[in-house]
Amino acid sequence: MLGVAATAFAADQCTPFGAAPAAINHGLIANSITAHNPICFSGRVLGPWKDSDGTQRYACIYEPEQHSRDNPLPLLVFVHGSLATADSIKFTGLVGEIGKADLGGKKPGFILLAPEGRYTAHYYPGVDSSAMGWDNWYRQLCPQGEVTVSGVAYKENVDAAAIDHFIQDEVATGEVDPARIYLTGWSNGAAMALLYALERQSIAAAAVYSAPDPFGAFNDPCPQTPVPRAPTSNVEAQIFNPHVPLMHVRNSCDIGGICPNGNNFAQQMRSAGVSLEDVILDPDGKQVAECDPTCGTSPMASSEVGTSGTVRGLAHHVRWPSAWNAKMFEFMKQHPLGSAGK
C-alpha cells in the first residue's frame, strides 16, 4: 500500500453502497492472475465457480483428520490480503492448528477455508491500486442479493457472493457446525472480513489482523458511516449483523499510517452498538494503549506515504501475529452464534 494517491473520483459518482463495483484488470499479466488457481499446500482446491461477472473463483480447504458428519466442526474462513493469494495462509500458522485448536467444537479442531480474491482496481496507493484482493468499496452486501434504490438495480458484491458460495458448499457437507462459522483476515482481506461479518447473520464472530477501515481509508472516494438501520443518505451504510462480536488486532506503527484509521473504525463500531475488542500491539507484540504518532496521525491514513514511519509500519504489517493466534481462537470460542444477544 505504498506510493502516491490513486484515481480521482467525483463525489456524484458515489452510489447508495459506496463506490461502483471494482473494475477487473484485463491486462495480459492480470488475466493470468485473475484466473489464478491456488496451490493450496497440504489442502484441497475448491472450484472453479463462476461469479456473476464471469470470473472463475477458487478457494482452498484444509480439513483435520477428525472431520466428519458425525463430528461437525467450527469453520474458520481466512480472507487473504491484497498483493497476495489464498496461499498466503501458510504464513499465519493457522493450517498447523486445524487438528488441535479449540474453537468450541465437541472435540478440538476446525475446518479452514481460504477463498481467493480477484485482480481488480483498488483505492489504495501505488502498486496496490490494482492488485489481487477484495472489493470493500462497493458495499452492497445485502443478504437478499440484488437491491433496487430509486429505480436503479444494484447487484450483490461479487466477492461477498464468492465467499457465500464456498461457505454454503462447506455447510452443505454436514461437517460444519453452523453455530461456529468464524472469519479472520489480513490487511485488505481483514477489511473484507469485517465488512462481510457485519452483513451476514450466519457469522458468529470475526477476529482479524491489521485492517484498513472497510468504510473509509486511503483514497476511498465514497466513505460511509455504518449504521444498524436503514440509511438516510448515500453517506451511510446499513449493517445487517450489528450484534457480531469483533476482534481487531493491529499495530501501533502500521503500513500507510493505518493505526489512527483503526481508531476511526473502533469509534464507528461503538457508535453503531457493535462489540469490538480492539488490540493495539507495539513492535515487540505487546499490547499498548495508543498508536505511535510518528507512523501517522490521519484518521483516513492519508498523506502518510513515503515517511520513515511508513517503512517501519510495512515491516510490522507483513508479519502475521502468530503469538496472538491462541487469543484469537479463544475469542471465537467464546462467541458462538446466539451469544451477545443474537
Kindly state whether residue 342 falls inside one of the protein's structural domains: no
Q: What's the CATH number where 260 sits?
A: 3.40.50.1820
Kindly state whether residue 341 falls inside one of the protein's structural domains: no
Kindly state whether residue 156 falls inside one of the protein's structural domains: yes
Count: domains in the chain:
1
Kindly state whether residue 208 falls inside one of the protein's structural domains: yes
Helices (H), the chain: 28-34, 158-172, 188-199, 259-272, 308-317, 325-333
Kindly state whether residue 123 falls inside one of the protein's structural domains: yes
Q: Which whole-number Å values give the CA distances from 109 to 72, 74, 78, 79, 239, in the listed order?
A: 10, 8, 15, 19, 31
Rg value, the chain, Cα:
19
Q: Which neighbouring-strand residues pair with 50? A: 56
Kindly state whether residue 227 falls inside one of the protein's structural domains: yes
* pLDDT per residue as tens, the chain (342 positions): 332 233 334 456 899 999 999 988 765 444 444 446 899 999 999 999 999 999 999 999 999 998 889 999 999 999 999 999 999 999 999 999 999 999 998 899 999 999 999 999 999 988 899 999 999 999 999 988 899 999 999 999 999 999 999 999 999 999 999 999 999 999 999 999 999 999 999 999 999 999 999 999 999 999 999 999 999 999 999 999 999 999 999 999 999 889 999 999 999 999 999 999 999 999 999 999 999 999 999 999 875 555 667 788 999 999 999 999 999 999 999 999 987 544
Distance of CA 291 to the CA centre of its chain: 21
Kindly state whether residue 5 falls inside one of the protein's structural domains: no
Query: Domain span at residue 71?
Result: 11-333
Burial class (CB in 10 A: 0-12, 13-18, 19+), 161: middle
CA distance 190 to 193: 5
Neighbours of 292 (CB within 10 A): 22
Distance of CA 30 to the CA centre of its chain: 22
CA dihedral 289, 102, 117, 170 (to 10 degrees): -150
The pTM is what?
A: 0.93
Kindly state whether residue 4 falls inside one of the protein's structural domains: no
